[in-house]
């Protein structure tokens, strides 16, 4: 299995402000605005998409201070949450990729059985005077918010057979498919020993195990990871991160200065057998944290 860390949602170029960690701890990755006129009429608007009982239209208006409107078309991708919009029968989580990023995935051999972990730029928010705002003096973090384990990759050519429930996906709205362009369809269930979850979805709420950014750093691109991520004496490294000077080991952790380019970083778990146990703990902690009472030593989200 290959593990893909995939950066999605609002960033410095698209949206230009962090996705919110809501007061409840819920993670809400904001899909980027879609600026392509040829497909805008067929795309979801922020007002049509729900994060629990909160319309995304309300969130983007408040957090952007009116710069982004509820009627703005969105690029809802990855599409992971069955409850965010009405669904046709047979729907599964789905992700689209194209251009240089898709070329990178194919050069890395990504396909059925491989697991995307999606992360984005997040910051804590609160409600004041009926509006959402960022909590003063809180930091920006890269945080994992969802996953998709691949059942099928569908190249989006003119002859592609697309499931009816995926026909409204943004990557299916182009008059002329890009080359390359593809949809990644989730498995029905996650194939990970000891974990009983769907093949794609969103983590229910923030907890420290989902945070990639070093909590002591002011730079969200400086990550704190388990020490086994270090590529020393391994046949391969996390893609785009082969340079030794990007890695710094300290005790049972490693610090990584992540690159600015690239949407997906791929790790071959054949060369990192510790990945399976880390993933099992990640999923177990995420969902047991959601179901269990908050422990006194848990930091506030």
pLDDT by position in tens, the chain (length 301): 999 999 999 998 899 999 999 999 999 999 999 987 676 688 999 999 999 999 999 999 999 999 999 999 999 999 999 999 999 999 999 999 999 999 999 999 999 999 999 999 999 999 999 999 999 999 999 999 999 999 999 999 988 999 999 999 999 987 776 789 999 999 999 999 999 999 999 999 999 999 999 999 999 999 999 999 999 999 999 999 999 999 999 999 999 999 988 899 999 999 999 999 999 999 999 998 554 444 333 333 3
Q: pLDDT digit string (tens) for 183-205?
A: 999 999 999 999 999 999 999 99
Is 299 contained in some domain?
no
Q: Kindly compute the dihedral angle of the four CA atoms of residues 210, 148, 166, 98, in this order, to the nearest 10 degrees.
A: 90
SS3 166: helix
Query: Contact, 105 vs 266, CB < 8 A?
Result: yes
Count of domains for the chain = 1
Is 300 contained in some domain?
no
Q: pLDDT digit string (tens) for 225-282?
A: 999 999 999 999 999 999 999 999 999 999 999 998 889 999 999 999 999 999 999 9
Q: Which two tokens stand for residue 251?
A: 């005790």
Q: What are the φ and ψ backbone dihedral angles of 97, each rounded to 5 degrees?
A: -145, 150
Q: What share of the chain is helix, strand, coil (3-state, %, to 5)?
A: 20, 30, 50
CA distance 139 to 224: 15
CA distance 39 to 235: 43
Is 298 contained in some domain?
no
Cα–Cα–Cα angle for 17, 229, 180, rounded to 5 degrees: 60
Is 301 contained in some domain?
no
Strand ranges inside 28-138, DSSP E: 50-51, 54-55, 94-98, 115-128, 131-134
pTM of the model: 0.94
Q: Which two tokens stand for residue 250?
A: 């300290």
CA distance 44 to 58: 15
- Residue 187: which domain range? 2-291
């Amino acid at each position: 299995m290959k593990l893909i860390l995939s950066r999605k949602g609002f960033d410095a170029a698209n949206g230009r402000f962090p996705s919110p960690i809501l007061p409840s701890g819920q993670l809400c990755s904001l899909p980027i605005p879609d600026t392509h006129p040829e497909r805008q009429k067929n795309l979801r608007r922020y007002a049509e998409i729900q994060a629990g009982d909160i319309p995304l239209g309300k969130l983007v208006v408040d957090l952007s201070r009116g710069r982004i409107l509820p009627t703005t078309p969105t690029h809802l991708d990855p599409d992971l949450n069955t409850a965010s919009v009405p669904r046709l029968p047979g729907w599964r989580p789905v992700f689209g990729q194209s251009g240089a990023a898709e070329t990178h995935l194919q050069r890395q051999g990504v396909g059925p059985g491989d697991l995307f972990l999606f992360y984005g730029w997040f910051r804590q928010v609160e409600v004041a005077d009926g509006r959402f705002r960022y909590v003063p003096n809180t930091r920006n973090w890269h945080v994992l918010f969802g996953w998709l384990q691949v059942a099928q990759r569908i190249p989006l050519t003119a002859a592609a057979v697309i499931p009816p429930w995926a026909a409204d996906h943004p990557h299916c709205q182009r008059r002329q498919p890009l080359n390359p362009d593809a949809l990644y369809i989730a498995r029905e269930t996650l194939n990970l020993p000891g974990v009983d979850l769907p093949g794609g979805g969103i983590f229910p709420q923030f907890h420290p195990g989902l945070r990639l950014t070093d909590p002591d750093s002011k730079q969200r691109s400086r990550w704190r990871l388990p020490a086994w991520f270090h590529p020393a004496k391994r046949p391969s490294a996390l893609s785009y991160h082969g340079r030794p000077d990007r890695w710094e080991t300290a005790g049972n952790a490693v610090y990584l200065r992540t690159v600015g380019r690239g949407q997906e970083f791929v790790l071959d778990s054949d060369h990192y057998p510790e990945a399976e146990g880390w993933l099992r703990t990640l999923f177990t902690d995420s969902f047991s944290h959601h179901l269990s009472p908050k422990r006194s030593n848990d930091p506030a989200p």
